[in-house]
Structure 1
């Protein structure tokens, strides 16, 4: 078997710290409203973060310049040209005509609205806007026909053109749910800070029963706060959201320091639960930035399941390696020390970066 040096993993953690940012909302969520499949008027509402909107304007604009109603209305036509013109809508193979558009700030995102007159037929939309965004971005296209549950389909850089889901021809629930599960898994795999916290906890996790207890406490805790924030029971925006990100970094520092200074970790389950509550708010920041409209319940359930599946896969991959290392006490001591120092350094970098905004 090939052993991976603790120093190599430490170096990877430090490199990842420089590349990792707070939990960016890297999707655009758009809903299409049509009273019936052949109604001429189609209304769309697009929600995205100020950071994302700033990227789409020419020239690009800092997010801080897009936080007020006055600033948004001053750029109303530029926003329409930069966003709606890059998302042409058609019906029955014929282009729809945009007759109105508007902008409005919301709690954690910006809402752009547009009204179209469309010929009869199947709605289809092309998201050329993705070509101007980083490859990780996705578009989630939902649709609400009167009396119907909203459907949703997912677009990405390699698949920019989609049929708009409509009543009677909607995307199956399983497919919509799977899309949100995939997003949740992607965010746990790309969430280097969450993975660093999980690794720090598992380094001194002990036997299988105790590891399962630790992971369960973390899961229950962040599920509670993720649900509370995503459903709007707790609102985190601006400075509060930034301090949540800093608190996540603090949790990583604390666990790493405990690994270095303490031989026994009797209260680790409680500590993991308390910090899990904070990490849940971090996951919620992702959903809050989407402005999910009527799809929030499906999104919340699917995203959370994806996070849990991703976390389970990480634990399943790490646990056998850690158990083998634990059988060699000298190696285990060196590995805990080296990895905890790396995790501590990464957490310190994230805390300073996020606290300073």
Structure 2
């Protein structure tokens, strides 16, 4: 894996949220008033409307108030809502800063009929972005929209949860897999571990330790037992870089790695906070449990695919000691340099 690709991929924050979470409902069954709620990160908002005065992704309430007309044009005009095929009329909208995300709410007047919203806002965001439509009150599951399929029919309140759970669950699994495949720092960490993984039993022990550890911190954070604000998230990102540097350095300096399972567990706790920063930035509210389960399963499946693909290759290389020695040295050096660059960029 070329060093330039590792460095380029790590230039920004490794776990920027790339979804917009939304909820849509009529205030009462049959009512003409419809409320729409969006939650998104400050960095996502800044891609749509220049609200971040300092350019660090930390949008303040003052920034939101100063850009109120821009929010109306840049976001709400790009989220047309219809009922029974007829357009709804926007009455008011509010923006506020909440912990690690920004919450935007708007009230619409709509004619009778099924609600449908089109997220044309996706056309101006990177191709990997999705909109997740969640239900109010924890009912049902979620539906996903992307740039290819930007419109969603809004399920009525009190409808069957089964109608939305399956696609929502699959969507969260896909999102978890995407984050492990695109999380170049997590991939670098896994590769560094596998380079001197040893026997199959030891590899399975490390993978299990990593899985259990990051599941603990991911769950605890996503369920609200541990809070990650902007400053803490930044330190988590730096700690992930440190974990990569440490493991790569061990590969270069030590001959024996008997403590790797414990080390992997400890660093897995840190990486779990990195995964959690993705979910916590979405403002999922009551929907966090179902999103957590699917997302974590996707992470595990993605990790299993990576280990399954790399392990036979590592075994083949280990049969030739000289080739194995140079492979470990070369890849560990690349990973060490990448980790050092990520650490510099995340604390700078």
**Which interval holds the TM-score relative to the shorter structure?**
over 0.9
Q: Could you say which residue in structure 2 is the equivalent of 1:161? A: 151
Q: Deviations over 1:27-74 (max 9, x none)?
A: 110111324553221111100111111111269865558632222122
- 1:231, 1:162 → 2: CA distance? 27
Kept in 2, the 8 Å contact 1:91–1:124? The answer is yes
| Greater than 3 Å deviation, 4+ residue runs | 58-66, 169-172
CA distance in 2, matches of 1:70, 1:314: 44
Deviation per residue, 1:258-292 (Å, 9 max, x gap)? 00000000111110000000000000111111111
In the comparison of the two structures, how many residue pairs are matched?
344
Whether contact under 8 Å (1:231, 1:296) holds in the other structure is yes
For 2:304, the equivalent position in structure 1 comes to 312
Partner of 2:274: 282
Residue number in structure 2 paired with 1:296: 288
Given that 1:66 and 1:72 are in contact with CA atoms closer than 8 Å, whether structure 2 keeps it comes out as: no
- Output the CA distance in 1 between the equivalents of 2:257 and 2:181: 27
CA contact (8 A) 1:54 1:66 kept: no
CA contact under 8 A between 1:325 and 1:331: conserved in structure 2? yes
Task: Give the direction of change, closer, same or farther, for the CA distance of 1:42–1:62 in structure 2 (3 Å limit).
Answer: farther
TM-score under structure 2 normalisation? Answer: 0.94
Residue in 2 aligned with 1:3?
A: none
- Equivalence for 2:6: 16
Q: CA deviation at 1:14?
A: 3.6
TM-score for the superposition, normalised by structure 1: 0.92
Q: Say if 1:153 and 1:37 are closer, same or farther in 2 by CA, change over 3 A.
A: farther
Matches within 5 A, 1:29-178: 29-57=21-49, 63-64=55-56, 67-144=59-136, 149-166=139-156, 167-168=158-159, 171-178=163-170
Uncovered stretches (5+) of structure 2, i.e. residues with no partner: none
Q: Is the 8 A contact 1:180 1:299 kept in 2?
A: yes
Return the offset for 1:330.
Answer: 1.1
- What per-residue deviation string (whole Å, max 9, x for no partner) do you get for residues 289-318 of structure 1? 111122100111110000000000000000
Give me the whole-angstrom Cα distance separating, in 1, the residues matched to 2:295 and 2:105: 26
Gaps of 5+ in 1: 1-8
